[in-house]
C-alpha cells in the first residue's frame, strides 16, 4: 500500500488522524480532523501542532516531551491511550482520547495520532455525577422535607441510577436489605444485593436483576408493577412485595433514574393465596367421594406454594396410621418419601410427632430442626441418614379433627425453599385440615353428593354478615335446582381502610366450574381491594383475572364502597342497586361492562349520598327473572312497587316481604339462583347530616 492509498483510507476514517514531524509541524490532517478542530488541511499542514490543537497551558509539556524523545528515545505518552484536552480553531476546549505512535524512516522520526472526540462520554459521566449530587441535595440538603417524607414512608423506597446501581434508599429500604448506611448501598454491586434472597414471581419463576421494574425502566421499557416473593436465605423469612417503579426524567425528558416503591404485601398476598388454595381445596374435596384420591390432590395443591412437602395421614379406630398422601414438587423426591415411610412404625409414638398431635389434638410447629430431634426420631442408622438427607428446615403438623375426634394429620415440611412457618401458617394449615377432615367424614358417613355441595356452597358465602357501623344489613341466598349442584350467585362484605366493600355477583353456569370461578372472583376482589379499593379498580382486577383463565369465564358483579352516609359504586354488567327513600324507589349508578368477556371495557364509578333511614337493595337477576304464570317474569317494575311499600321496613322485614312475593309469584320450581343484599343506613349517633340537607341518593 503506498502513501496515497493509505491517505485516502485515512481520509474516510471515523477518527481524526494527525501526523507531525520532528520539528513539531503538522504533516498530515485527515477529513475528520478538519471537522473536529475546525481547520482545513491546507490551513493546518505546516503549522506547529502545539499552537494549533494543544491548549496553551499544556504546550510546554508537549515541547519538552518531544525533545526528550528525540534525545533519549523515551516517550511517556507513546503507544497508549491518553486522555487530554484539545483546542478547536475557535479557541474552545474539548476532551479527546488519543493514541500516538512514532515511526522512524531513514533516521527521521514522524509522529502519528488517532484522535477521538470524548465530549459525549465525559458529558455522560458528568451528568451522572451531577444527578447524584442533585439527588443527594434533593433528598438530604435543601429539600429536607422531601427527605423527611421519604424516610417516614413505611414503604421502602429506592432510587436506581442509569448504571443499575442504587443511589439512594430510605431507612425502610436499607433495613430490608440489611444495610446500615447509604455508602454501603452505593458501593454494593446490584446483583450481589439480590443474592441474599431467593426471589420468584407469581408464576414461580426466578426474578433476576433484569426483571426488576426499575431496571426495565432504565432500559426504556414500561413495566407493570411486579409482585415478587422473597425468602431471606439466612433467616428463612418469607415476604411478598409489590415493586412499583417510576422514571425520573431530566429537563430534556431522558430517563436519569428510577424510583421504586417496595410495598410489603405479605399479609394481603398470603390471605389471597390461602383463600385461593382453600377455594380450590374445597372444590376438590367436594368433587369426589373418593377421599383418598381427593386428599392426594389437596396435598399436591399445597406444594410448592405452601410448603415443599405435604403429607396426609389418617388414623383408624385402633390408632394405627394409614399414610394417604405425600407430595413434593419434584417427583424424584417422592421415592425418598416412600423409603422413609418404610421405616416408620404403624404404631405411633404418642410422645412425639404425629402421635403427640393425635393424642393432644394440638398442632406442633418445629421451626428449628436440631440433629438431636432427627436422632430421637430415627429407628436406625439408615433411617437417620435418610432423615438428614431431606434437609428439613421446618415442620408443621396439624390435626384433622372431625366431630371432636382427631382422624388424621396434615404435615407440612419446608426444606429446599428455606422458609420457616409462622402463626399464620399454623392457622391456615388448620383450616385446610379442618376442611379435609370434614370431607373425609362426609365421604365416610354419606354417599350423597348433596352434603358436600352444601358444605362447598356455604364456604363460598360469608359465614355471617359482619356488623357494619351505621348500617343495618340483611341478605338472602336461594340456590336453584338440585341440592347437589352449587350455584353461581354470591355476595360478600368486607372491611377495607375503615370503609366497607360490598360485592354481589352472578357467575353463569352451575356446579364445580361455576364454584371455582366464584371463588376466583371473591379472592381476587379481596386481594385487589387491599391495593386499591375503588369499585372501578376492583372490577378491573376481577375482569383481568377472569380473562387469564383458559376457558371463557364471565361474571356480572356490582361493587360498592360504603362509608357513613355516602358511597361509591360501579357495575360490571350487573343490575344496578335500587335506592329506597322519601321520594320513592330508583336505580342508582351507571352500567358497566360484563367481567371476563370483552376487550373493550368501561366501569364508570358513581358517588352517592344516603340519609338515615334510606335503604339500598342489590339483587341478582334471579329475582327479576323469576317466572310466573304465562311465562311472565317478576321484572323490575314489580320489584320497585314492592320496595316502595316496604319503605319504612327494616332490612329483615324487606327481605321477608320480597321472599313471600317471589314465592307467591313463582310457578314451578326456581330456575335461577337468587341473591339479595339489603342495606339500610341508620346514621350515626352524632346525627351527622341533620344540619345540612344533602340531596338523597343523588349522584354527586
Partner 1 sequence: MIHASSFKIHTELDAGAARATLVGELDIATVPRAEHAIDALLKDGARSLVIDLSDISFIDSSGLRLFIALNDRAASEGFELGLIRPTDRSLAVFQITGAEQNLPFVDDSEGAP
User: Cβ contacts of residue 436 below 8 Å, gap of 6+?
Assistant: 281, 285, 295, 298, 312, 400, 408, 410
**Near partner 1 in 623-652, by CB under 8 A:** 625, 627, 631, 633
- Binding partner 1 (rule: CB under 8 A), the pick from 97, 537, 621, 649 is 621
> Is the peptide bond preceding residue 410 cis, with omega within 30 degrees of 0?
no
Q: Does 552 bind partner 1 (CB under 8 A)?
A: yes
Q: If DSSP codes are grouped into helix, strand and coil, which group holds residue 213?
A: helix
- Binding partner 1 (rule: CB under 8 A), the pick from 156, 217, 475, 594 is 594
Q: Does 598 bind partner 1 (CB under 8 A)?
A: yes
Q: Does 667 bind partner 1 (CB under 8 A)?
A: yes
* Between 210 and 602, CB nearer to partner 1: 602
158 neighbors 173 (Cβ within 8 angstroms): yes
* Between 321 and 541, CB nearer to partner 1: 541
Smallest distance, Å, CB 226 to partner 1? 30
CA gap 583, 58 in Å, rounded: 92
229 neighbors 239 (Cβ within 8 angstroms): yes
Bridge partners, 99 (sequence order): 81, 114
* Between 227 and 585, CB nearer to partner 1: 585
Instruction: Show the binding pattern over residues 233-272: x = contacts partner 1 (CB under 8 A), - = does not.
Output: ----------------------------------------
**From the CA atom positions of the chain, what is the Rg in Å?**
37
Q: Contact region for partner 1 (CB under 8 A) — 324-332, 384-392, 566-574, 646-654?
A: 566-574
Cell of 639: 320489584
Q: Does 509 bind partner 1 (CB under 8 A)?
A: yes
Q: Does 591 bind partner 1 (CB under 8 A)?
A: yes
Q: Does 575 bind partner 1 (CB under 8 A)?
A: yes
Q: Does 664 bind partner 1 (CB under 8 A)?
A: no
* Between 52 and 674, CB nearer to partner 1: 674
Q: How many residues bind partner 1 (CB under 8 A)?
A: 31
- Binding partner 1 (rule: CB under 8 A), the pick from 24, 573, 577, 651 is 573
Q: Contact region for partner 1 (CB under 8 A) — 44-52, 357-365, 420-428, 662-670?
A: 662-670
Smallest distance, Å, CB 153 to partner 1? 39
Cell of 78: 507513546
Q: Does 485 bind partner 1 (CB under 8 A)?
A: no
Q: Tell me the DSSP string of 404-418.
A: TEEEEEEEEEE-TT-
Cell of 592: 358497566
Ranges of beta strands (E only) in 463-596 are 471-478, 489-496, 499-507, 555-563, 566-572, 578-581, 584-587
- Binding partner 1 (rule: CB under 8 A), the pick from 24, 501, 672, 679 is 672
555 neighbors 521 (Cβ within 8 angstroms): yes
Bridge partners, 177 (sequence order): none
Q: Does 599 bind partner 1 (CB under 8 A)?
A: yes
Smallest distance, Å, CB 515 to partner 1? 16
Q: Does 699 bind partner 1 (CB under 8 A)?
A: no
Instruction: Show the binding pattern over residues 338-367: x = contacts partner 1 (CB under 8 A), - = does not.
Output: ------------------------------
CA gap 38, 646 in Å, rounded: 92
* Between 594 and 616, CB nearer to partner 1: 594
- Binding partner 1 (rule: CB under 8 A), the pick from 602, 641, 663, 699 is 602
Q: Tell me the DSSP string of 605-630.
A: -EEEE--TT-EEEEE-HHHHT-B-GG
Q: How long, in residues, is the chain? A: 700
Half-sphere exposure of 102 (CA within 13 A, CB side): 17
Helix (H) or strand (E) holding 477: strand 471-478
396 neighbors 425 (Cβ within 8 angstroms): yes
Burial-class residue 195 by CB neighbours within 10 Å (0-12, 13-18, 19+): exposed
CA gap 73, 84 in Å, rounded: 22
- Binding partner 1 (rule: CB under 8 A), the pick from 406, 556, 615, 674 is 556
- Binding partner 1 (rule: CB under 8 A), the pick from 34, 238, 263, 506 is 506
Q: If DSSP codes are grouped into helix, strand and coil, which group holds residue 560?
A: strand
**Near partner 1 in 454-473, by CB under 8 A:** none
Residues of this chain that bind partner 1 (CB under 8 A): 506, 508-509, 552, 554, 556, 571, 573-576, 591-594, 597-602, 621, 625, 627, 631, 633, 667-669, 671-672
Amino acid at each position: 500500500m503506498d502513501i496515497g492509498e493509505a491517505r485516502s483510507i485515512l481520509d474516510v476514517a471515523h477518527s481524526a488522524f494527525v501526523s507531525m514531524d520532528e520539528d513539531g509541524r503538522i504533516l498530515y490532517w485527515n477529513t475528520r480532523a478538519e471537522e473536529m478542530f475546525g481547520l482545513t488541511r491546507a490551513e493546518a499542514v505546516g503549522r506547529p501542532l502545539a499552537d494549533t490543537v494543544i491548549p496553551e497551558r499544556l504546550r510546554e509539556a508537549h515541547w519538552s516531551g518531544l525533545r526528550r524523545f528525540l534525545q533519549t528515545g523515551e516517550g511517556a505518552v507513546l503507544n497508549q491511550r491518553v486522555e487530554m484536552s484539545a483546542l478547536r480553531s475557535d479557541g474552545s476546549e474539548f476532551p479527546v482520547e488519543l493514541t500516538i505512535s512514532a515511526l522512524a524512516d531513514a533516521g527521521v522520526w514522524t509522529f502519528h495520532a488517532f484522535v477521538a472526540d470524548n465530549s459525549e462520554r465525559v458529558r455522560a459521566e458528568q451528568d451522572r455525577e451531577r444527578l447524584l449530587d442533585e439527588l443527594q441535595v434533593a433528598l438530604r440538603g435543601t429539600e429536607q422535607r422531601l427527605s423527611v417524607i421519604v424516610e417516614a414512608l413505611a414503604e421502602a423506597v429506592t432510587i436506581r441510577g442509569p448504571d443499575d446501581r442504587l443511589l439512594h434508599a430510605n431507612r425502610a429500604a436499607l433495613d430490608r436489605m440489611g444495610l446500615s448506611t447509604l455508602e454501603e448501598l452505593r458501593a454494593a454491586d446490584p446483583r450481589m444485593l439480590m443474592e441474599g434472597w431467593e426471589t420468584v414471581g407469581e408464576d414461580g419463576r426466578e426474578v433476576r436483576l433484569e426483571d426488576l421494574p426499575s431496571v426495565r425502566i432504565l432500559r426504556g421499557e414500561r413495566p407493570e408493577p411486579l409482585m415478587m416473593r422473597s425468602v431471606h436465605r439466612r433467616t428463612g423469612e418469607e415476604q411478598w412485595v409489590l415493586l412499583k417503579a417510576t422514571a425520573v426524567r431530566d429537563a430534556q425528558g431522558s430517563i436519569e433514574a428510577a424510583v421504586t416503591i417496595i410495598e410489603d404485601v405479605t399479609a394481603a398476598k398470603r390471605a389471597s393465596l390461602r383463600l385461593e388454595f382453600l377455594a380450590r381445596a374445597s372444590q376438590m374435596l367436594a368433587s369426589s367421594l373418593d377421599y383418598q384420591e381427593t386428599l392426594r390432590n389437596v396435598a399436591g395443591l399445597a406444594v410448592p406454594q405452601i410448603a415443599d412437602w405435604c403429607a396426609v395421614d389418617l388414623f383408624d379406630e385402633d390408632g394405627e396410621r394409614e399414610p394417604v398422601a405425600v407430595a413434593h414438587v419434584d417427583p424424584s423426591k417422592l421415592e425418598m418419601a416412600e423409603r422413609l415411610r418404610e421405616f416408620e412404625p404403624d404404631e405411633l409414638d404418642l410422645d412425639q410427632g404425629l402421635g403427640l398431635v393425635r393424642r393432644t389434638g394440638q398442632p406442633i410447629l418445629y421451626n428449628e430442626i436440631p440433629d438431636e430431634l432427627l436422632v430421637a426420631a430415627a429407628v436406625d442408622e439408615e433411617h437417620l441418614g435418610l432423615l438428614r438427607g431431606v434437609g428439613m428446615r421446618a415442620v408443621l403438623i396439624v390435626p384433622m379433627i372431625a366431630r371432636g375426634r382427631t382422624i388424621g394429620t396434615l404435615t407440612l415440611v419446608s426444606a429446599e425453599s428455606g422458609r420457616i412457618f409462622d402463626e399464620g401458617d399454623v392457622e391456615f394449615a388448620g383450616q385446610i385440615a379442618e376442611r379435609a377432615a370434614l370431607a373425609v367424614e362426609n365421604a365416610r358417613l354419606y354417599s350423597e353428593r348433596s352434603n358436600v355441595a352444601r358444605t362447598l356452597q356455604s364456604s363460598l358465602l360469608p359465614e355471617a354478615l359482619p356488623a357494619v357501623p351505621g348500617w343495618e344489613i340483611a341478605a338472602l341466598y336461594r340456590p336453584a335446582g338440585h341440592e347437589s349442584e352449587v350455584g353461581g350467585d354470591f355476595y360478600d362484605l368486607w372491611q377495607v381502610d375503615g370503609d366497607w366493600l360490598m360485592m354481589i355477583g352472578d357467575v353463569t353456569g352451575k356446579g364445580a366450574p361455576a364454584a371455582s370461578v366464584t371463588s376466583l372472583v371473591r379472592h381476587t376482589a379481596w386481594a385487589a381491594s387491599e391495593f386499591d379499593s375503588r369499585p372501578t379498580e376492583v372490577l378491573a382486577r376481577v375482569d383481568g383475572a377472569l380473562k387469564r383463565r383458559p376457558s371463557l369465564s364471565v361474571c356480572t358483579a356490582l361493587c360498592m364502597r360504603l362509608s357513613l352516609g355516602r358511597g361509591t359504586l360501579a357495575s360490571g354488567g350487573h343490575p344496578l342497586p335500587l335506592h329506597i327513600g322519601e321520594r320513592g324507589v330508583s336505580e342508582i349508578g351507571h352500567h358497566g361492562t360484563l367481567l371476563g368477556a370483552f376487550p373493550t371495557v368501561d366501569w364508570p364509578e358513581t358517588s352517592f349520598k344516603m340519609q338515615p333511614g334510606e335503604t339500598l337493595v342489590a339483587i341478582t337477576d334471579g329475582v327479576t327473572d323469576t317466572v310466573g304464570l304465562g311465562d311472565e317474569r317478576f321484572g323490575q317494575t314489580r320489584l320497585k312497587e314492592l320496595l316502595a311499600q316496604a319503605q319504612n321496613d327494616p332490612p329483615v322485614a324487606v327481605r321477608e316481604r320480597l321472599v313471600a312475593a317471589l314465592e307467591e309469584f313463582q310457578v314451578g320450581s326456581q330456575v335461577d339462583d337468587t341473591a339479595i343484599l339489603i342495606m339500610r343506613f341508620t346514621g350515626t349517633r352524632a346525627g351527622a347530616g341533620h344540619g345540612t340537607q344533602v340531596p338523597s341518593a343523588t349522584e354527586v
